[in-house]
Amino acid sequence: MNRKKQIITLFLVLPLGWLLLQPRLWKSFFPPPKTEFFSTLKFSDALAEAGRQNRVVFVDFYTTWCPPCKEMDRSTWQDPAVIRLLTGRTIPLKIDAEKETELAAKYNVDAYPTLLLIKPDGSVLDRVVGYKNGENLVAIVEQSLAGFRFDAVESAVRSPQPLVTPSKQFNRSY
């Protein structure tokens, strides 16, 4: 009888011990750190502010149940290079897609996290879907912002000539 109890205890304790040692399980018990650099402006106010400051709006569409969103809260949004870039060159917003359903639908957000760079006129400059670490996100945002100039956008609207001429090297066969 004593041996039977030992075997039953072993089969109950081992799986429970294994579960408790899983880092993902532990992370779910602790709330992610605060991400205080995101603006508290409403979306429409952020677009207006971006126009005044000659910037774009950076939007992190997230949900409360999304594991990659929580991981970005723990890592990406704590990275000093990310914070410096987003606060220096954009108006950063963090929007819960389940609370702002109309806005999420307007920008076709159907996966999380979805990160958007939005021009002051409301059009999308760039879209990134899924988890990105700090280094990757900085590279993506810098590349997206590299060619963004309001005067270039306005002149493209007035002029029928493209901003970038097509390259013949894209016609190569491999």
What is the share, in percent, of the chain residues with pLDDT greater than 70? Answer: 70
Give the active site residues: 66, 69
- The rounded distance, in Å, linking the Cα atoms of 167 and 169 is 5
- Rounded to 5°, the CA angle 128-106-145 comes to 35
In the chain, the domains with their CATH numbers are 39-145 (3.40.30.10)
Helix (H) or strand (E) holding 96: strand 90-96
- The rounded distance, in Å, linking the Cα atoms of 20 and 27 is 11
Q: What pLDDT is attached to residue 170?
A: 38
Q: What are phi and psi of 164, to 5 degrees?
A: -125, 130
What is the share, in percent, of the chain residues with pLDDT greater than 90? Answer: 63
- The rounded distance, in Å, linking the Cα atoms of 39 and 165 is 37
Query: pLDDT band for position 173 (50/70/90)?
Result: very low
Cite the DSSP H helix spans in 107-149. Answer: 134-146
Query: pLDDT band for position 160 (50/70/90)?
Result: very low
| 145 token code pair | 């912002």
| 96 token code pair | 């819960």
Cis check for the bond before 15: say yes or no (omega within 30 of 0). Answer: no
pLDDT, tens only, 41-77: 999 999 999 999 999 999 999 999 999 999 999 999 9
Q: Which residue has the higher pLDDT, 171 or 56?
A: 56
Is pLDDT at 88 greater than 70 in this prediction?
yes
| Residue listed under structure tokens 């002051």 | 120
